[in-house]
A = this chain, B = another copy of it.
């Protein structure tokens, strides 16, 4: 197996962590082998720092070089920069290359790829479901993706080899690939990832805007710490997420408002049984979620009907299973 060249464009927390994980993988065990990592960042100091920290093997100072050199090109910039990067790499990408990204929203990204990338390359949208409050290549972490879900968005026309390569990439960084429709992805992720950020911001804002904040601050303990944790996340990245996933986010904000209004009503009416019922339901549902492995797909672990046991490509199995679920 020849060593693959992986070009990473954007060397922040995610790009840097992918570089570390792919570039240090066990060549014998990893589905992708140990890749040769080519790194590019808009800020040349970041590219140099990534090289110095051995996050990448080769530093390049032009996005065209990164595009030319990669068998796989990973766009790991903020969401709204992906479009411009696609336009810039389009004239330079190798025939047969796999282009993927790491952005937190997918429908818009997939549309941009269709619009901008040449038909000689394959695009598979990617979203590794892992993160940290810290940003930047300094926070890059070899194990960031270990055990997490790695969403992959492709369609029936995507070449099977490209899909297999994207699966291998996700598995090589220790994640579990999860094929999902881009629109479904955006709706679901808005609910379980982006809305929690907004709730965390709302908590931090209402507390810190209060005239009593200076006296509340020393009382705030582990409950406040955990519920507000996401508010320490990167403001620009989250701005882009909100701007690129508007409909799903306003939907979930309305749902949040409805539940909070229900709770307010029960509290104002001193309705103990109603409060206890909701609290017990939430406790049960969260505990169920905690007990379920994050790596089990719905339906996994239960026997599949006969026709699924035919030898099929991984892609057609996953796409097929997804279609049946609808």
Q: Which A residues are closer than 8 A to B by beta carbons? A: 129-131, 148-149, 151, 178, 184-185, 187-189, 191-193, 195-210, 212, 214-236, 238-239, 242-243, 246, 249-250, 252-261, 263-264, 266-268, 270, 272, 275-276, 278-283, 285-287, 289-290, 292, 294-298, 325
Contact = CB atoms under 8 A, between A and B. Distances in A.
10 contacts: A184-B212, A197-B223, A198-B263, A208-B289, A218-B294, A227-B230, A231-B279, A232-B283, A233-B283, A234-B283
Given A202-B259, A239-B276, 5 more contacts: A151-B219, A191-B207, A208-B281, A218-B298, A243-B275
Contacts of A203: 195-196, 199, 256
Contacts of A325: 215
Given A202-B263, A250-B268, A257-B260, A193 B223 contact: yes
A205 B246 contact: no
A268 B247 CA distance: 8
Contacts of A148: 221
Decide if the interface of chain A is mainly helix, strand, loop or mixed: helix
A276 B325 CA distance: 38
A263 B267 CA distance: 25
A250 to B, nearest CB: 6
B216 A223 contact: no
Closest 8 CB pairs of A and B: A235-B279, A208-B285, A196-B227, A206-B255, A192-B220, A204-B282, A202-B259, A231-B282
